[in-house]
Amino acid sequence: MPPLPRLNISTLAALEERLRVMPKETLLRDIARAEGLAEQVEDDGTYPEDWVVFRVTGTRPDVKEPAMIVGAALKADLSSLVERLCDAGRLCSSDFEPNTLIDADALCRRWRMSRQTLSRLRRRGLVARRVLGETGKPRLMFSLEAVDRFAEKNREAVARSAEYSRMGPEVEARVVKRAARYKRLLGLSLNAAAARIAERFGRSHEAIRQVLKRYERAAAKPVLVGAGANGRSGVFAMVNGNGGSGNSGIYPALGLPPGPIFNEAAPLTEERREAVFRAWRLGIDPRVICKTYRRSRAAARRAVNVARANRLTELLRRGALTHAVPIEPPKNSVRAKLTAKAEQARGSLTRRKPELSPLDQVPANAGLGVGVPRTINDLIALGRANTPPIGVEERARLAAYQHLRTRAAELTFGLDRLFPAAITLDQIETYLRWAARLKVELVRSQFRLIVETLEGRFERKLEDVPRSKMPRLLMDAVRTVGEVIDGVDPSHAGRLAAPVGLALDKLAVRWIKDLAPVTLPPGTRLRASPLLPNAPDVEDWSRTIAPWQRWLEPHFRTRDAVEKGLVPEVERDFLSRRFGWYGGPPRTLSELGDAFGLSPIRVVVFEQRALRGARLVWRATQGR
């Protein structure tokens, strides 16, 4: 049984979430109403969302400005809605009147069509029900009354499907040869040639296009794969049956071209788009990327931007940026005008100095990007040497951190899904890098509390804790502090020590179960704590403290090459400012372009070249 179909209309998706908890009797009534609605919707009509909800549930929601839904899209989603409601109610065949349903296979035999054609009819208003059979396995069933009414209303579509015949080898060979002629004489693309051939052969555009695509895939291989490999019939079965070790002896026998006709580049699927993004992130030459995937620079840049936007949207969906994005009231509304007048009157009565933005505070712009200790000894020493954090500095950094997350969420909320603007993406990513630098400093300021809380609960020094458990213990403490910082509202909270102390105390209680108590024989004294080897044995938590750093931070080799002075001074300065390694906040490409005298295009090229150069020079020096 195929998986549950998706709902593309947000109104129906919200309706399905509300109805799936209803009792079975209510679901049965809603399913019957949805089937009746599918029969009345016209493809070229538009319908308000509150009317659609009323037709399905019988109650009209209070929507001030209802969105309009296109009839064709509504038809395509009504069958999916009914299937999901049937699945939510675990409906069985016994829940319906006997002899009123017909299954999908019987309907295909009745109308003399394939299951694929039946699926296409479901998107045109033929509503299916997902019913549990006697074995508990779901199967598609259709109401006989709905089937008869659909056939009466769509006689031509049903008759055309019944008259359908599969293309044989000779027809497929004629299609391929005609496509080759169109390509040679008219220069048509595969899609344009398929549309022209479909009109001449009386076939659907998609059927001809699939024939040509199968031929292109087969012709690109050293040996054509036919029906013996994939079970398909047609010209490919003839080619496979003739045998042979190459295309040169097969194609002339059928009169087909000796190779691919169009040789078009494969579409940039999600997997290929992710590969393009990873290559761009490593600073690989764009010419290599474009040549590998046979795409223009504009197409490659768009693929990268879409991949970046998808990651940001996923962060927003998971709530990693902020709890909610404030929605501005319409500027032309009466409430907005009254609010503006009130603010104007209040400002005329009391003249106040403009408030300083959280991002303009000194603690939010200084002391950032410093490396973190990588050994257990250094982390413990950091906790013991730390002084209590200064309240003004802590509040300023916390306010700036939450402000950056909120601004990033607002900009992400307004991104175009298909064509996200590169400038906006760069601004969002710069905000998030800046937020990560602030979060590192906020966590660093709590290391004194980490050490004191853990030692107080364990009743021993951290040096006495088994070394094999120390890296995981310290990283759990760092993540716990980071989670507390994410949930603190700077406008209503005091110092971080209170919530952080409570969270660390709970963490220590959980860890006590994993730590064996220190037991000494009678009359013996506790020996001095051994010195732990001072080797890097803790992960660089400054690169993982925020969820977006996994794909926003450059490769660790890049910073290593910059800090060791392996790259030229100009590129070292550029990368330090770009990623906030110089003590201040990260900078956008627009700001760096102004600082280095580079145009918007040149600054992008310079960044890619600097990243690529740092990675290569690090590899060269490590090789020596």
Q: At what angle do helices 297-318 and 391-413 cross, to 10 degrees?
A: 120
Name the domain boundary from 236, 254, 272. 254
Residues 238 and 96 reside in one and the same domain: no
Name the domain boundary from 145, 162, 179. 162
Residues 245 and 138 reside in one and the same domain: no
432 in a structural domain = yes
Q: What pLDDT, on the 0 to 100 scale, is given for residue 536?
A: 58
> For residue 367, what are the contacts with CB-CB under 8 A and spacing of at least 6?
441, 583
Q: Are strands 129-132 and 68-70 parallel, antiparallel or unpaired?
A: unpaired
Tally of structural domains, the chain: 4
**Domain span at residue 151?**
10-162
Q: What pLDDT, on the 0 to 100 scale, is given for residue 230?
A: 43
Name the domain boundary from 162, 179, 197. 162
289 in a structural domain = no
- Provide, for the chain, the percentages of residues in helix, strand and coil under a 3-state DSSP scheme, each rounded to the nearest 5: 60, 5, 35
Which run of H or of E encompasses 138? strand 138-143
**Amino acid (1-letter code) at residue 171:** V
Residues 411 and 366 reside in one and the same domain: yes
Q: What pLDDT, on the 0 to 100 scale, is given for residue 599?
A: 93
Q: What pLDDT, on the 0 to 100 scale, is given for residue 21?
A: 84
512 in a structural domain = yes
Q: What pLDDT, on the 0 to 100 scale, is given for residue 267?
A: 75
For the record, the structure tokens of 185 come out as 């004489």
Q: What pLDDT, on the 0 to 100 scale, is given for residue 249?
A: 36
Residues 545 and 566 reside in one and the same domain: no
For the record, the structure tokens of 520 come out as 């000494």
Residues 438 and 491 reside in one and the same domain: yes
The low-confidence residues of the chain, meaning pLDDT below 70, are: 1-2, 160-166, 221-258, 323-355, 493, 516-536, 623-624
Residues 406 and 434 reside in one and the same domain: yes
548 in a structural domain = yes
- Among residues 395, 527, 553, which one has the least CA distance to residue 461? 527
Residues 67 and 189 reside in one and the same domain: no
Strands (E) located in 197-331 = none
For the record, the structure tokens of 364 come out as 């939010």
Q: What pLDDT, on the 0 to 100 scale, is given for residue 576?
A: 94
pTM here? 0.63
269 in a structural domain = no
pLDDT tens-digit profile of 107-117?
A: 888 888 878 78
